[in-house]
C-alpha cells in the first residue's frame, strides 16, 4: 500500500479549552443579563453574532486576503464574499 506524503491530517483542537466552552459561557451570561425575560429568535441571533466575529477575525488575520481567508474557513471564495456582504464586512 502506497503512503501519501501530503495527505491532510484530521482536524485536532489546538486550544486548551474547546471553543464551545467560550460559547456556553457567553450564552449563560446572555441569559443572566436578560434577568428572567425570554429571548426571541436566539438561534439566528447567536449564529449571526458568532459568524460575524469569525469572519471579521479571519479577515483581520489574513490582512483582507480573501483567498487565504476562504482556505482557513474551509469555504469557497464566493461564499466568503456573500457572508462578508451579509455582515457588512466587505469594502
Domain positions in the chain are 43-91
Domain 43-91 in CATH 3.40.50.2300? The answer is: no
Helix (H, G, I), strand (E, B) or coil at 68: helix
Give the chain's residues under pLDDT 70: 1-15
What does pTM read for this prediction? 0.74
Amino acid 2: pLDDT: 52
Amino acid 45: pLDDT: 93
Task: For residue 11, count other CB atoms closer than 10 A to its CB.
Answer: 7
Amino acid at each position: 500500500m502506497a503512503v501519501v506524503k501530503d495527505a491532510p491530517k484530521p482536524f485536532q483542537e489546538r486550544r486548551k479549552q474547546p471553543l464551545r466552552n467560550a460559547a456556553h459561557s457567553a450564552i449563560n451570561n446572555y441569559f443572566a443579563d436578560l434577568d428572567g425575560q425570554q429571548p426571541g429568535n436566539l438561534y439566528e441571533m447567536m449564529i449571526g453574532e458568532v459568524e460575524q466575529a469569525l469572519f471579521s477575525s479571519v479577515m483581520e488575520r489574513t490582512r483582507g486576503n480573501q483567498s487565504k481567508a476562504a482556505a482557513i474557513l474551509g469555504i469557497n471564495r464566493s461564499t466568503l464574499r456573500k457572508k462578508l456582504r451579509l455582515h457588512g464586512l466587505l469594502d
